Amino acid sequence: MKSLSSIIQNKILLAILAGIISIGSFQIWQYNQQKHYKFIAAKEKECELDLDIADTNVKQSRSLRNLKYNQIANPGLEQPGINSEFEKGKAYVVISTKAGYVIPPNTSNYDSTFFKSLSITYEHPPQPLIVKGVSIDIAKKQALVSSYCSSQPFLVPLKNLYENFQPIDISN
């Protein structure tokens, strides 16, 4: 009888322990989910800021505005790796005048609808984006850049990379 009673007590204790572990595991999962959502929300805000800064840079520059909205490239536009020096860590603006995407679709990114929308190829030119230079490959005419809009660096054709400040705007 004592052994049967002891077995029942052990099973009850194991059931209680399993319940406590399940509740604890759920609370840890819930905490991690909330932390992840906050992280993604912060990254989205940083990305939106980069998109807004790029838009402001384009609107404040006569030559970049003409390029973006009229597809007229002033020959004096400064482009790193083409006619100005590429600097690692320096901020540049990416402007494409052809249909495309903000972030290349083959780039791994954060898991949210906002970030996925940046990799959709649209029929019109994508919005400009502020990026930071990582490295350059002159032979392939491309630069590796980083952005708050992407979880990893991605390649940009040098023809789409521009200096934020265009000296030609002062002389006009």
* Dist CA 32 CA 28 (whole Å): 6
Average pLDDT over every residue of 102-106: 92
With 80 as the cut, is the pLDDT of residue 112 above it?
A: yes
Average pLDDT over every residue of 68-96: 93
Average pLDDT over every residue of 124-142: 95
Domain count across the chain: 1
Instruction: Work out the burial of residue 88: count CB atoms within 10 Å of its CB; fewer than 13 is exposed, 13-18 middle, 19 or more buried.
Output: exposed
Amino acid type, 23: I
143 in Cβ contact with 161 (< 8 Å): yes
pLDDT bracket for residue 2 (50, 70, 90):
low
Domain encompassing residue 13: 1-172
* Dist CA 6 CA 53 (whole Å): 70
Model pLDDT, residue 101: 94
Model pLDDT, residue 63: 93
Model pLDDT, residue 6: 76
Residues of the chain with pLDDT > 90, as a percent, come to 65
With 80 as the cut, is the pLDDT of residue 17 above it?
A: no
Residues of the chain with pLDDT > 70, as a percent, come to 97
With 80 as the cut, is the pLDDT of residue 4 above it?
A: no
- Whole-model pTM: value is 0.82
Model pLDDT, residue 15: 78
* Dist CA 139 CA 82 (whole Å): 11
Listed residue (124, 107, 125) closest to 116, CA to CA: 107
